[in-house]
Amino acid sequence: MCKEIEWMKQMNHNVDDFVRRKELKNAKQLYEEASSHKISIEDTNHLGVRFMKEAKIYDLKLKNYREKIEEYHPSVDAAAKRSKIISGIDCVEQELKQLNDDYAALLNRILGLLNQLQDDDSKLREFVSIFYTIFF
C-alpha cells in the first residue's frame, strides 16, 4: 500500500505542475498514466479484502481462545478487558477507503482539467477561425 500512496503523491505533484503549464498533451498523458494504474489499485484492494477475511478468522479464533482462558482462569478476565486491541481489519479498511477516495479524486481532478483544456482549445480555434474570416 505504501507504493500506491507514494505513487499517488507523485501523481498529485505532476498534476500541480501541469496546472501551472496547462498543456493539453501532458494532461492526456497524466490521465492515461493514472487510468493505467487502476489494475495496481484493484490488486491492492483485492489483497486488502483477503487480509480482512483472514483477520476476521484470526479474530474469531482469538476471541474463542480468550473465552477459554477466562473460563479456566477468571483472574485473567479483568486484565484482558482492560487492554484495548486495535483491529487490523478496521485499520486496513480505512486505508483502503482512503486510497480509493484519493485515486477517484485524482482521476476526477485530471479529467476536469482535461475537459477544461479541451474546451479552452476549441474556443481558441473558434476565435482564430472568426478572426481570420473577419480580417483576411
Please report, for the chain, the start and end positions of each structural domain, with discontinuous segments joined by +.
2-135
- The mean pLDDT of 32-54, rounded to a whole number, is 93
Predicted confidence at residue 132, as pLDDT, reads 66
Predicted confidence at residue 61, as pLDDT, reads 92
75-128: pLDDT as tens digits: 765 555 555 667 788 889 999 999 999 999 999 988 888 888 777 767 767 776
Contact (CB, 8 A) for 66 and 29:
no
pTM of the model: 0.68
Predicted confidence at residue 105, as pLDDT, reads 93
Helix axes 2-21, 88-135, angle to 10 degrees: 20
Longest dimension (CA), the chain: 98
Predicted confidence at residue 22, as pLDDT, reads 65
